[in-house]
Amino acid sequence: KYTKFSICYYRINSLDQKTSIYSRLENVAIPSGEENKTAALSYDYRIMPLENTSSTGMYYCTVKWNDIQKMGKGVFVLVRDTGYINTSYGWEILVTLTVLLAVLCITTTALLLWKRKVLCPRRNQPNILRQEVETQLPSASPPPPPVYD
């Protein structure tokens, strides 16, 4: 009784108009020993191509036996114009942040090295300053040794 059935695919648009898409008849053979058992069969159908935005709506599947009709939950399909491009800025943001951080690191390193050059005297510079101080002091008493020596 339940081996012969029909499967219908259809769409209901925003105006509640039903448009049939595809239907087919099925005749499933029951293997011996499997009688009076519940069986679940899967039937896939691809709707390709969706022509235009008027294809937007709820898509349903209905199975009809002689006296029983079962309807699926449906799936909503939104069709957009062909000019629409789904933009993803993930890689662009990652590359931009990496370049920005690299530039900041290089700039900071350059500033620190420049600051060090300006603030820290060269090794022979303290000797030059010490010689200038020694020439200005009176020769009567020896100068005290510098604290940093």
Q: Residue 140: its pLDDT value, please? A: 58
Q: Residue 35: its pLDDT value, please? A: 79
Question: Which of the residues in the chain have pLDDT under 50?
Answer: 149
Give the Cα-Cα-Cα angle 47, 51, 57 (nearest 5 degrees). Answer: 65
Q: State the Cα–Cα distance between residues 8 and 23, nearest whole angstrom.
A: 4
Q: State the Cα–Cα distance between residues 10 and 48, nearest whole angstrom.
A: 14
Q: Residue 107: its pLDDT value, please? A: 93
Q: Residue 104: its pLDDT value, please? A: 95
Q: Residue 119: its pLDDT value, please? A: 66
The ranges assigned to domains in the chain are 4-29+39-77, 87-121
Average pLDDT, the chain: 78
Q: Residue 133: its pLDDT value, please? A: 52
Q: Residue 135: its pLDDT value, please? A: 56
Q: Residue 97: its pLDDT value, please? A: 93
Contact by Cβ (8 Å): 67, 48: no
From the CA atom positions of the chain, what is the Rg in Å? 43
Q: Residue 145: its pLDDT value, please? A: 66
pTM of the model: 0.48
Q: Which of 79, 72, 27, 90 is nearest to 51 (CA)?
A: 79
Under the phi-then-psi rule, with left for phi > 0, alpha for psi from -120 to 50, and beta for the rest, what region is 16? left
